[in-house]
Structure formats: C-alpha cells, structure tokens
Homo-oligomer: A and B are copies of this chain.
C-alpha cells in the first residue's frame, strides 16, 4: 500500500504527472474572477470565500481523471485488481495521493489568493482550516466519479457533470465556515458538518468506487 502511495506521488512529481497544475488552475480562477467581476474591493471581499472555494473545487475536479484513467489505459489497473491488496485500499490510497498532490497545495496556497480577493483578515485561518477539512472529502468523492467514468474516452466533461453535484454540500459548508469566520460569527456547526461529510466520504465511498472499478474492468 505504501508502495502504491509512493509510486503515485513519484509519478505526479515526474514530468507529465500534473503536480502543480491544479495549483496553477486555482490561481487562474482567482485571477479571472476579479477580471470578470471588476476590481472593487468591497464586492470582492464579499464574494471571496465563495470564489476561493469554487476555485478549489474546480482545480480539484480537473485533475480527477488522472486518478484512474492512466492506470486503466496501460493495464496497471487490471494487474492491481488481481494483486494481493484489496481494491478498496487501492482506491483509498489513490484518493489520498490525489489529495496530497492537489488538495494540500491548494490549502497552502489559499491564503495568498485570499489577498488577491481582499478576503477580510479574520477569514484566513478559517479558510485554511475549512479547506484542510474539506478537500480530502473532495478527493474521495472525485475518486468515485473517476471510477464511474474510467472506461470512457475523453470523459472529462461527463466526470465534471457527475461529480460537481456531489460537491454541493461540501461547498456550502466550506464557504459558510469562511464567510462566518470572516464576519466574526460562530463557525462550529458548519465546521462540524464539513468534517462529518469528509469523514463519511472517506469511510464509505472507497467501497462504492472499488465496485465501480470492478464493473468497469469487466
């Protein structure tokens, strides 16, 4: 299992693995929105939590198809399915690797982008915390979507369509934490709910994803 994690990280770090691309995309969204919306600080400050969360979500989304598709195409997935580690474990590890490569950099970069969007001072801590709690859930949910669409050619757009509605609760609670935190309100309830969703997704979805993979390998 550790071997799989190391391999996935190594693949992501070598050329073509796409490490850092998610980050760049996050940055792009954070830049594009002010360009589209206009430069007034007050408006930006108001929408900053939501935009940052939507940006994180899209950045995560765009790298999802790499979770399984490359392994499917070169036959590795067949071999992993017959290997002595449970496919559920494979899915969980790969989702974790995806989080390390995509989610974690987003968490670290978010404060910088918060500056671009005039996020109020009080919000930064909550932004980082909410992303830290939320993005692992995004990876687990995304892995499920990736498992559903693994056999399809260029299924990226379909993958988005399937996964984004599943991201809705995470998005709402995540953005709510930041919004309330920035306004100095109590954040316990959405924070707990956010953590709950992530935990639930991490615990239950690998089974569904492994099932979807088995179906697609058939």
Instruction: Report how far A185 CA is from B66 CA in the complex, Å.
Output: 46
- Select one of B24, B35, B65, B158 contacting A172, CB under 8 A: B35
Question: What is the CB-to-nearest-CB distance from A2 to chain B, in angstroms, rounded to a whole number?
Answer: 25
Q: Is A69 an interface residue (CB 8 A)?
A: yes
B36 in contact with A161 (CB, 8 Å)? no
Q: Are B70 and A153 neighbours in the complex by a CB distance under 8 Å?
A: yes
In the complex, the chain B residue whose C-beta lies closest to that of A22 is B157
Total count of chain A residues near the partner, CB < 8 A: 48
A52-80, CB under 8 A of B: which get 1 and which 0?
Answer: 01100110001101100110010000000
The verdict on A154 contacting B36 (CB below 8 Å), with A28-B165, A161-B24, A161-B25 known, is no
Given A25-B160, A25-B161, A46-B43, verify A69-B154 contact (CB < 8 Å): yes
A81 contacts the other chain (CB 8 A): no
Contact A54-B33, Cβ < 8 Å, known A62-B160, A157-B18: yes
Complex contact B47–A43 (CB within 8 A): yes
A138 contacts partner chain B, Cβ-Cβ < 8 Å = no
Tell whether, in the assembled complex, residue A50 and residue B37 are in contact, meaning their CB atoms are under 8 Å apart. yes
Partner of A168, one of B22, B32, B38: B32
User: Are A33 and B16 in touch, CB under 8 angstroms?
Assistant: no
Given A32-B54, A36-B175; A63-B21 close (CB under 8 Å): no
Set of chain B residues within 8 Å of A32, measured between Cβ atoms = 54, 57, 164, 167-168, 171
| Neighbouring B residues of A37 by C-beta, 8 Å | 46-47, 49-51, 175
CB nearest neighbor in B for A65:
B154
In the assembled complex, A122 has its CB within 8 A of some CB on chain B: no
A152 within 8 A of B: yes
